[in-house]
Structure formats: structure tokens, C-alpha cells
Amino acid sequence: MAKGVKPRVKVPKSASAGETITIKTLISHKMESGQRKDGDGNVIPRSIINRFTAEFNGEMVIDVALEPAISTNPYFQFDAVVPASGDFTFTWYDDDGSVYTETKSVSVS
Amino acid sequence: MRTLLASVGIAALALSGAASAGEDAVLSVDGEVFVTEAAAPDHLENVDTIYSGWVFRTDETQELQLDDFDNPSFIFLDQALDTWETVDGSEGKSCASCHDDVEDFAGLKSTLPRVENGELVTLTNLVNECRTERMGAEAWKYSGADMSAMTALIAHQSRGMAMSVAIDGDAAPFFEKGKELYYTRVGQLDMACANCHEDNYGNMIRADHLSQGQTNGFPLYRLKNAKINTTHGRFKGCMSNIRATPFKEGSPEFKALELYVASRGNGLSVETPAVRN
């Protein structure tokens, strides 16, 4: 299990209907590429976040496949139009099988 | 008088009103406006106005500091918060066992380094004193990852406060020593701190925009090495650049220099954790 992994998300708490909001996400992760070798010449096994998804009220909004060339602490920022109040669920899938989730609510007036 | 000047500075900056970064940009985070330009403290002979290093950075770098989510330092501050709660050493204590809330340290960074019992102490010294004497734990390396993150977390509590390091009384001999170091030419390139940071701030040195070398944002995140950097680490970098043999981190020389350089920034807001190139 990768150490020090902590998802962070910034979503506005409220928005008006049809407004475009900016969502920022970051997960602290070392993103070991699997290409590097340690001091003894042994390959350091790959350990990355391989998939990131965002769902809004259960509906898939964004689904990203991550590859080994992506650097430490992957950061995603995207815009979304929120039709109604609801919950954003963000999920990160780790190579080691761990799944990290974070949920944020947006109230639309 | 100094407070008055500083507040005039804020008003003037606020009037320019630009939300994004740029030449006359205002450094504000969550509505809190920082003093990035102030009248120089009285003891400065050759400089009239002091500027935060933030002013000298590119728009992109400046913008990273405008939002705490974009500021990469906060990953390290989160790690330090975990360490804060972690028990270490023979006494079975964590930082949180004695200090309830890290927020109690508001106002510490703005007055450090300071003299205690005739010795000049830095924030790093204080943390290590706690670790060795009260926690029964091993001292951290002066600019190690744990230490720089923890000092950044503690210094962050003073964010927005004006730097006000004491230079008189007990501190006077250390101040004089630091001042002498600041103006002494060293290394193969035969340069003193003052040659770049006093005589030539605002000019380019190759591709780098020279700042006044203020320490109000330290410990800070540098894009160059993607980690938290300490003042002593930065001093070392400067000295290597001028091809001098750097003093040791935590040495009396660097501590005196830290005091002197901090005093040159008296009046600027603490920005910890800042973002620089």
C-alpha cells in the first residue's frame, strides 16, 4: 500500500442552476513509474493511480485512465455545469487495489 | 509610524485592485491581503522600499500562491499535521500531547530567530529542543523533510502577520554578525549577499529575476525541486552559486544571517508557505 496518499477536492458549496463551476482535485501519491531502479539495480515496481473518475448523483461525468508518465501528486481540474443539487463522488484507483473516494455536495439554487 | 506606513501600503495596493497576478498584482488569499511592499525598516541604509520575493516571480508562479488548493505546499502541511499527532520517542508524547492546537503558534514565525538565554534560536532549534528534551525522540535533520514540513506548518500559523524580528538588546551582537556576513564578499566569484539582493534586485541574472532575498515566505515550496525549502537550505544554494564553501545548516553563521535577513523584511507579511521558482 502506497504511503501518505490523501485525496483533496475543492468544489464550490453552492451554485446557481446551469452555472459552470470549476472543480479542482489532487491526490498526493508518489506515482512510481516502474522504470526506475534502486541502488542495487533492481527495478522499483510500478505503483501509480491508474484511474480517476467523477460521478454526479451516480452519473459518470469524467473517467480518466492514467499512465506511468504522469508525475507525482496528480492534479485534475475541470469545469462542470450542475443542473440540480447533488453529490459529486470522486474515486481514485491505485495499482495496489486501494480505492480512495471523496464526496462533496453542491447545493443549487 | 511603521504600522501607519504599512497600512497606507495596503490601501495603495488594494486600489490597484487586480485579482490576477502581474506587475502591480495584489497578493491576497481568501480575501486576506498581504503586504508585499513596505517602507524599509530604519536600520536599512541603502534600501528605501522592501518587496516580498513574490513580486519578482512570473505571473504563473504568483498565481499558485493565490489559492491554497493550487499551492503545492499544503500537501506537505497536511503531512506535518499527521506528524503533529504521531507519538514519537521514549516519553510517549506527540506534539499534540503538550500543544493542544498548532494554531497557538500564531505570531511565532514573525519574531524568529530570537535570543533565549544568550543563544540565538531558530524555529528548527525550538522543534528539536522539544523532540530531544521533552519527547525523548531523536533530533530531526536541520532541513530534512520532516523538519521542513513541520516548521512550515508552525510558521504558517503566523501567515498575514507583519515580520517584526528584534535586533536590539541581546540580539544586537547576532545582528551585527549577520550584517557583516551579508556584506562580506566570499567565494570564487567574490560576491556578497548585498551585490545581488541589495544592489541589483529587480535585474536579471541570466534567466533569473533577482529578488531582495526576503525570508518572509519561508519555509516555502520551490518549483525547482518540488519540496519545502528552508532559509538555511536557500543560503547554502546561494553560496554554492557564487562558488563559495557554504556554512553548515544550523551553524552560528547561518543563524546570525537568518536574523539579519529576517530583520531586513520587518514590515512585510508572513507568507508561509509561499511558492517560488
Global pTM?
Answer: 0.83
CA-nearest of A13, A10, A9 to A82 is: A13
Number of neighbours of residue B13 by Cβ within 10 angstroms: 20
Contact across the interface for A24 and B78, Cβ inside 8 Å: no
Residues of B in contact with A4 (CB under 8 A): 79
* Span A55-67, pLDDT tens digits: 999 899 999 999 9
Bridge partners for A60 per DSSP: A55
Residue owning grid cell 484507483: A93
pLDDT score of A2: 61
Contact across the interface for B70 and A24, Cβ inside 8 Å: yes
Contact across the interface for B69 and A73, Cβ inside 8 Å: no
Contact across the interface for B70 and A28, Cβ inside 8 Å: no
**What CATH number should be reported for the domain whose range is A6-108?**
2.60.40.10
Residues of A in contact with B71 (CB under 8 A): none
In the predicted model, what is the mean pLDDT of chain B? Answer: 88
pLDDT for B8 beyond 80: no
Ordered by start, the domain boundaries in chain A are 6-108
CA distance B108 to B142: 18
ipTM of the complex as predicted:
0.74
Residue B79 carries which DSSP code? Answer: H
pLDDT score of B197: 94
CA distance B161 to B109: 9
Residue A40 carries which DSSP code? Answer: T
CA distance B166 to B121: 12
Q: Angle, nearest 10°, between helix axes B252-264 and B172-183? A: 90
Nearest beta carbon to residue A6 from set B69, B70, B78? B78
In the predicted model, what is the mean pLDDT of chain A? Answer: 89
Residues B232-266, buried b or exposed e (16+ Cβ, 10 A)? bbbbbebbeebebebbebbeebbbbbbbbbbbbbb
* Span B223-232, pLDDT tens digits: 998 899 999 9
Q: Angle, nearest 10°, between helix axes B73-85 and B145-156? A: 100
What fold, for B72-277? Cytochrome Bc1 Complex; Chain D, domain 2 (1.10.760)
CA distance B108 to B161: 10
- For an interface test with A, which of B29, B64, B69 has the most A Cβ atoms less than 10 Å from its Cβ? B69
CA distance A96 to A50: 10
